[in-house]
Amino acid sequence: MQRYRDEIARMLAEKLPLKKEQIAAELETPPEPQMGDLAFPCFKLAKILRKPPAAIASELAGALDGGDYFARIEAKGPYINFFCNRQKLALWTVEAVLKEKSRFGCQDEGRGETVVIDFSAPNIAKPFGVGHLRSTVIGNSLYRIYEAMGYRCVGINHLGDWGTQFGKLIVAYRMWGDEKKLAEEPVKHLYDLYVRFHREAEDKPDLEEAARAWFKKLEDGDGEARLLWQKFRELSLAEFKRIYSILGVEFDSYQGESYYNDMLAGTIRQVEDAGLAKESEGALVVDLEDEGMPPCLLRKQDGATLYATRDLCAAIYRYEKYKFSKMLYVVGADQALHFKQLFAVLEKMGFPWASQCVHVPFGLIRFKESKMSTRRGTLVFLEDVLQRAIELAEQTIREKNPDLKDKETVARQVGVGAVMFGDLSNDRIKDIDFEWEKVLDFSGETAPYIQYSHARICSILRKAEDWNGYDASLLTADEEQAVISLLARFPETVARAAETYKPSVVARYLLDLAAEFNKFYHRCPVLQAPEEGIRKARLALIAAVRQVLVNGLLLLGIEAPEEM
Ligand code: ARG
């Protein structure tokens, strides 16, 4: 579609006192296909030309020559509607997809620029809950989307590996810890210890006191405390990494909260030098009253630093290291205030890049099934969820396709994909009710549905002769055009997902594409097409659909098996 936008911009720029970029930025996609493929609204021109928008639209529409690109250019009220030449659109689109292959959809908007993406960030010694799943899959997808937009991406896992909870854990481990259990199921064991600590501390308040003392020791570099902390961290991290490998997620850096310990004093000095630090009941804060926010707490009365101190330090460190043009924090909406405070402090410190920091929030995920939430205490363990999804996918595969080779791999791709897509297909800010029947439904709005469409195309293509010498300009039927028009819009869909930080834009697009493909396939025979020319053109078309389904799924971090 880009070349059509460029062409409209070129034509209109000849007739108007506007630059091509300004015109291109105004172009819209009409809500209904019978209103054309692109529309130019004339409202803004009305002011410049001092004429009613409808008059401008009809004058311009009459004066434009659509050439090879457009079959018709019509004024409709204040809009100029452009109807693409169907043959050319089919020809160029199918050709572009089949030529660019896995690069189709990639753009160079971000060339030479870096985007830092802070995502996942589970807390050491606590289970990897489904809340962190959201950050993980959304962050991972944004990483891929921004890469496709041409940016260099840096994925950072800001592990929660420091804080008073480690004092509690050390106390609990020294009293009730079991080395063997720790080695076998570290996170589970640490979580049990953590839960037990809180239970017992209810009527033994000196436990809390002991925990504070141990955390102090840890901060002061005490040998035993450091050793235990290190062990907890390593074992938890190994377990998290196992989950990441199931999900196919990678990070460029695991610099977590503890990484900044030695830099915090410097950061606090910077805040003081900027004249922003204020004593308040023995604590050190940055006043944010003028911003209508509570103060940002940087150091407690007892000298301990906080989550916010470490985030402030990390932001400054990251800017120096990466010179990012954007930094995204993919963190739940419940931390909105924290990030507003953080960005406000950076702004006050005079960092011009403060405005390039963005909090990308998301809502909660709820599990309907109580079985899931009671298996191991009150928390839903992500690994259980994934395991369950894989089992269910395997069951379905056994029923539907008992002869499939390598069922295990496919079950993993389908099960894990289903869970990820169940998250990514929702507008991230909304809360999600997770239901197994819904995410794994092969015919619903799910990853398996898209994967299944993909596998179906693969199977047709395996049976077909090759389609070299195809002529895509034969694809002018409505069903064919509906598919082509979607294919042509894939690049702008990727751009919109990046701009809004919403992988759901890509997910919804894939559902539409799979649906249009299935409609087409239902009505237009491919292998049994009446003549060779049409057959080849349709084969090329579905090969292009296959490619775009794969490219889109990859942007979501989901694999596409060729058979299922
Ligand atoms: N560990 C935190 C949590 O689980 C999330 C950290 C997000 N990243 C950040 N830079 N604050 O709530």
d(CA 553, ligand 1 centre) in Å:
27
**Ligand 1 centroid to residue 230 C-alpha, Å:** 20
pLDDT digit string (tens) for 289-322?
Answer: 999 999 999 999 988 889 999 999 999 999 999 9
- Alpha-carbon separation of residue 481 from 469, 510, 547 (angstroms): 20, 16, 17
160 Cα: distance to centroid of ligand 1 (angstroms): 6
Span 47-93, pLDDT tens digits: 999 999 999 999 999 999 999 999 999 999 999 999 999 999 999 99
- CA nearest to 559, candidates 140, 213, 116: 140
Q: What is the pTM of this model?
A: 0.94
Ligand 1 pocket mutation, candidates 136, 158, 364, criterion most atoms within 8 A of CB: 158
Most confident of 135-139, 213-217, 428-432: 135-139
Which is more confident, 368 or 468? 468
Residue 377 above 70 pLDDT? no
154 backbone dihedrals φ, ψ, rounded to 5°: -125, 115
What pLDDT, on a 0 to 100 scale, did the predictor assign at position 374?
35
* 375, pLDDT greater than 50: no
Q: What is the mean pLDDT of the chain?
A: 94
- The residue whose CB lies within 8 Å of the most ligand 1 atoms, and thus the one to mutate among 118, 335, 343, is 335
> How far away, in angstroms, is 158 Cα from ligand 1 center?
6
| Neighbouring C-beta atoms of residue 301, cutoff 10 Å | 11
Q: How far apart are CA 88 and CA 1, in angstroms?
A: 11
192-202 pLDDT, tens digit each: 998 899 999 99
Q: Is the dihedral of CA 198, 200, 205, 210 positive or negative?
A: negative
Going by CA atoms, what residue is nearest to atom 6 of ligand 1? 121
Averaged pLDDT, 474-485: 96
Q: How far is the CA of 445 from the centre of ligand 1 (A)?
A: 31
Q: What is the pLDDT of residue 303?
A: 85
Please give the Cα distance from 524 to 329 (Å, whole number): 46
CA of 119 to the centre of ligand 1 (A): 8
Rounded distance between C-alpha atoms, residue 425 and residue 456, angstroms: 22
Q: How far is the CA of 136 from the centre of ligand 1 (A)?
A: 11
Cα of 412 to ligand 1 centre, how many Å? 28
Q: Looking at 106-204, which runs of residues are DSSP E strands?
A: 114-118, 152-156
Which atom from ligand 1 is nearest to the alpha carbon of 132? 4
DSSP string covering 361-398: ----EEE--HHHHHTTTTSPBHHHHHHHHHHHHHHHHH
At residue 128 the predicted structure's pLDDT band, cuts being 50, 70 and 90, is: confident
Q: pLDDT band at 379, cuts 50/70/90?
A: low
Compute the distance between CA of residue 240 and CA of residue 120 in angstroms, rounded to an integer: 10
Residues 163-180, mean pLDDT to the nearest whole number: 94
For residues 408-428, average pLDDT: 95
* Residue for token pair 């005079």: 350
Report the nearest atom of ligand 1 relative to the CA of 159. Answer: 1
332 to 120, 121, 288, 365, 536: CA distances (angstroms): 10, 11, 22, 10, 49
Query: What is the C-alpha separation between 259 and 36, in angstroms, rounded?
Result: 55
- Please report the pLDDT score of residue 439 as a whole number: 85
- Stretch 371-380: mean pLDDT: 47
pLDDT at site 380: 67
C-alpha distance across the termini of the chain, in Å: 33
Mapping DSSP to helix (H, G, I), strand (E, B) and coil, where does residue 68 land?
coil
Query: Does the pLDDT value for residue 370 go beyond 50?
Result: no
Pocket of ligand 1 (CB under 6 A): 118, 121, 123, 158, 160, 311, 329, 331
Cα within 13 Å of Cα(189), Cβ side: 19
- pLDDT value of position 305: 86
Q: Kindly tell me if the per-residue pLDDT of 373 is higher than 90.
A: no
CATH architecture of 2-84: 2-Layer Sandwich (3.30)
Q: Domain spans of the chain? A: 2-84, 163-249
pLDDT at 355 over 60: yes
Give, using CA atoms, the residue closest to atom 11 of ligand 1: 311
What's the pLDDT band for 407 if we cut at 50, 70, 90?
very high
| Residue appearing with tokens 């349709």 | 538
Which of 251, 309, 330, 331 to mutate to test ligand 1, by most ligand atoms within 8 A of the CB atom?
A: 331
**b/e 49-87 (16+ beta carbons within 10 angstroms → b):** eeeebeebbbbbbeebebeebbeebbbeebbbbbbbbbb
